[in-house]
Amino acid sequence: MKKILLSTSVAALLTGCAAPSIQAPYDPGRNYIETYNGEFSQVWEATVDWFATNNIPIKNIEKASGIIGSDYALGASHSQIDCGAIDVGSMYVLRDVNATANLNVLVREQAGRVSVQPNIFGNASYTLQSTWDGSLAVVKPDRCISTGELERSLHQYLSSRF
């Protein structure tokens, strides 16, 4: 009888301890394509300059195809991507957040104008520590989306030049 009572008490206690969960980010499906009056080469150079000015390392660059790509490592206080809201529950403490944004920009000439289309997406991992036994667990959101910060920065930079 004592074993049943003890088991029931422990089960009731653990039921109140929520497991970690992540609420997915809201995705309004924004489109960040802008067009500029200027020569392709001028817009291309200004786009490359924006990467350098913002200390964003370029991983791939192909002027002929109009593609510039980067892996941009962000810190725990990142504001460029939204990976949703994490609820660590009552049994864990958040110890570390590691987020990486991938930034690809497509620059194309179209009917005497130049279009610039930044695409940003990312991933993250949250390291949690159990308050019970100190063990670590890693939780990863399904997806991370852009907040629009980098896209606005790029287009403000280009708009000031063209």
pLDDT tens digits for range 61-98: 999 999 999 988 776 567 889 999 999 999 999 999 88
Given a cut of 80, is residue 16 above it in pLDDT?
Answer: no
Pairwise CA distance, residues 145 & 125, whole Å: 14
Q: How far is CA 130 from the centre of its chain?
A: 26
- Select the CATH number that applies to the domain covering 31-159 from these four: 3.30.530, 3.90.640, 3.30.450, 2.20.25: 3.30.530
What was the pLDDT predicted at 101? Answer: 87
Percent of the residues in the chain that have a pLDDT greater than 90, as a whole number: 64
| Residue type present at position 60 | N
Count Cβ atoms within 10 A of the Cβ of residue 114 and give its class: 0-12 exposed, 13-18 middle, 19 or more buried.
Answer: buried
Phi, psi of 30 (to 5 degrees): -70, 155
**135 CB-near residues (< 8 Å, 6+ apart):** 129
Pairwise CA distance, residues 100 & 21, whole Å: 20
